[in-house]
Amino acid sequence: MTNGNIEIHRCSSAIGAEIHGVDLTRPLDNATWSTIHDAFHKHLVLFFRDQDLNPEQHVNFSRRFGELVPYPFVHGIDGRPELIEIVKMPDETRNFGAGWHTDMSFAEEAPLGAVLQAIEVPPTGGDTMFCNMYLAYETLSAGMKAYVEAARGVHDSHDPRGHSQSYKGMSLQEKEGAEREITAHSMVRTHPVTGHKSLFISPDYCMEIDGAETSESRRILDHLEHHATRDEFTCRFRWEPHSIAIWDNRCTMHKVLSDDLEAQFAGHGFKRVMRRATIGH
């Protein structure tokens, strides 16, 4: 599919598309922006290659989607509080965001999405997986649909220090005075633009179902996570320097793979540095 010089290549049948023929370092004209915005709602996550954005350009592009909000538990970079750096050091085995989740689902209103740029990536490893939560809802059995329509999941941010202090490259970025957040959300939500329903679980943060016993919650949530992350509902993105991903946080989940085996078995692997802007509502 083309619009002028813009090319859109799907990453999988379920989710994701790479956009070619766009220079995000420059202001976008209305036609180009419209093509990108329409593709965002159609494919749920978009990828761009070879986009060496400085912090100002990163912020300016991200703001086309909405107002930016700070991440509640990590300080922003110098001069740009809207941007945080996500760092894995060579001797660390786990990446920040390693489990399936929806960003900040513990907040009263979870963000619209995020724009993530690769600053330093390894030759291999640290790929990010995305899944389509429209499909996760639509393919549930009738009985399970009825259950989740009536249920509320309890989303817990956990100890704020775990969002930065557990990672050496982020250890000095803990926000003083940040408080733990716990919020109950409907397990089905309707997208404000497309009108489609999606499943809302966010396994990293949604640990129980309101009103259910712990063992009941765990069985149901484990089943829903396994269902939502079936291979055919996902895509996998291999990062390169200056790659960018933007995802719709209202109808997707994602996780980064913790597959640095050299760090795990030899104690020294790869460094990975990403920069992220969070889009509000």
> Phi, psi at residue 38, to the nearest 5°?
-65, -40
Please state the CATH superfamily assignment of the domain spanning residues 2-279 in this structure: Clavaminate synthase-like (3.60.130.10)
CA distance 118 to 1: 26
pLDDT in tens, 242-262: 999 999 999 999 999 999 999
Catalytic residue flag (residue 254): yes
CA distance 136 to 37: 23
* DSSP structural state of residue 150: H
Catalytic residue flag (residue 158): no
Catalytic residue among 58, 101, 155, 227: 101
pLDDT in tens, 21-58: 999 999 999 999 999 999 999 999 999 999 999 999 99
- Distances from the Cα of 182 to the Cαs of 69, 87, 141, 190, in angstroms? 19, 26, 29, 21
List residues bridging with 198 in a β-sheet: 189
Beta carbons within 8 Å of 152's beta carbon, 6+ residues apart: 184, 185, 186, 187, 209, 210, 211
Confidence of residue 240 (pLDDT cuts 50, 70, 90): very high
Confidence of residue 219 (pLDDT cuts 50, 70, 90): very high
Q: What pLDDT was estimated at residue 1?
A: 43
Beta carbons within 8 Å of 251's beta carbon, 6+ residues apart: 44, 132, 133, 134, 191, 194, 196, 198
Q: What pLDDT was estimated at residue 109?
A: 94
* DSSP structural state of residue 82: T
Catalytic residue among 58, 103, 155, 272: 103
pLDDT in tens, 134-146: 999 999 999 999 9
Beta carbons within 8 Å of 197's beta carbon, 6+ residues apart: 134, 137, 138, 188, 189, 190, 191
Do 24 and 52 meet the contact criterion of CB atoms below 8 Å apart? no
Any idea where the domains of the chain sit in the sequence?
2-279
Confidence of residue 229 (pLDDT cuts 50, 70, 90): very high
Confidence of residue 239 (pLDDT cuts 50, 70, 90): very high
Residue 266 CA from chain centroid, whole number:
30
- Distances from the Cα of 51 to the Cαs of 83, 86, 217, 243, 280, in angstroms? 16, 18, 43, 6, 23
Amino acid identity of 131? C
Handedness of CA 218, 221, 224, 230 (dihedral sign): negative
Q: Do β-strands 45-48 and 6-10 pair in parallel, antiparallel, or remain unpaired?
A: unpaired
CA distance 186 to 184: 7
Using the predicted structure, report yes or no on whether residue 3 has a pLDDT greater than 50.
Answer: no
Catalytic residue flag (residue 276): yes
Query: What value does the mean pLDDT take over residues 145-152?
Result: 98
pLDDT in tens, 169-194: 987 777 777 889 999 999 999 999 99
Catalytic residue flag (residue 281): no
Query: What value does the mean pLDDT take over residues 107-132?
Result: 96
> Phi, psi at residue 55, to the nearest 5°?
-55, -40
Q: What pLDDT was estimated at residue 4?
A: 55
Query: What value does the mean pLDDT take over residues 1-7?
Result: 66
Q: What pLDDT was estimated at residue 106?
A: 97
- Distances from the Cα of 1 to the Cαs of 5, 10, 30, 36, 44, in angstroms? 10, 10, 18, 12, 16
Q: What pLDDT was estimated at residue 281?
A: 77
pLDDT in tens, 56-86: 999 999 999 999 999 999 999 999 999 999 9
